[in-house]
Amino acid sequence: GNSVTQMEGPVTLSEEAFLTINCTYTATGYPSLFWYVQYPGEGLQLLLKATKADDKGSNKGFEATYRKETTSFHLEKGSVQVSDSAVYFCALSDSNSGYALNFGKGTSLLVTP
Amino acid sequence: GAGVSQTPSNKVTEKGKYVELRCDPISGHTALYWYRQSLGQGPEFLIYFQGTGAADDSGLPNDRFFAVRPEGSVSTLKIQRTERGDSAVYLCASSTLTGGGTEAFFGQGTRLTVV
């Protein structure tokens, strides 16, 4: 079956540091890949996505590239801000599961001034 | 516009009781999903509706859990004979159509506590 593994947190960084959150997946088909974010006190929201191999998703300075050869979708940001403090979830979906999302466990990020 | 609305936001119930959790999706969204999120975990899929019918209920943990969407809009997740292990945040999401890359919009969730 499908599964997503992401690095465990919490991750603590100073403002302007470089961020990488690793995500790898297992899938039988050709999934779409997502990063969702949950800010404190808010609901889950889509951060970025990629629907096929070698696609790069980007939003708010975050990027992730769909790497089929390494089954990875690592999240990166060159310079984090305090406002980026949140929990980040890697997820996949494919037609076999009705496009329901299969999430990783989440990675908590705390950015300090 | 209005997002996905879930009520109640919090529910405390006694073990063995019956509970109903409501989800009001974004107007026009045909796909609706229920997830359960336990502390420190990612959301886990429970059930998916396309229109009025449950297209995939493979994530429901047992027959105490049931969900309906009678008119293809509002959905209710029903839990019978609640157990302490049912305590979690129940999330609802909706989307315009099924297809690779379709964005799902999430509600704020219902935090269920079984005491």
List pLDDT tens digits, range A13-28.
999 999 999 999 999 8
Name every residue in B having a CB less than 8 A away from some CB of A: 3-4, 31, 33, 35, 40-45, 48, 50, 55-56, 59, 91, 93, 95, 98-109
CA distance linking residue A90 with residue A75, whole number of Å = 9
What pLDDT was estimated at residue B113? 98
Going by C-beta distance under 8 Å and a sequence separation of 6 or more, which residues neighbour residue B114? B13, B14, B15, B82, B83, B84, B85, B86, B87
pLDDT at residue A101 above 70?
A: yes
User: Which of B103, B110, B111 is most worth mutating to test chain A (most A CB atoms within 10 A of its CB)?
Assistant: B103
CA distance linking residue B59 with residue A97, whole number of Å = 10
Whole-Å CA distances, A78 to A17, A33, A66, A81: 7, 21, 18, 10
List chain A residues with CB under 8 Å of B43: 44, 89, 101, 103
pLDDT band at B14 (very low <50, low <70, confident <90, very high): very high
What pLDDT was estimated at residue B12? 98
Compare CB distances from A43 to B31, B100, B107 and report the shortest one's residue.
Answer: B107
Closest residue in A to B40 (Cα–Cα): A105
Residue A20 burial (10 A CB sphere; 0-12, 13-18, 19+): exposed
Compare CB distances from A51 to B48, B55, B101 and report the shortest one's residue.
Answer: B101
Beta bridge partners of B45: B35
| Cβ separation A103–B44 shorter than 8 A | yes
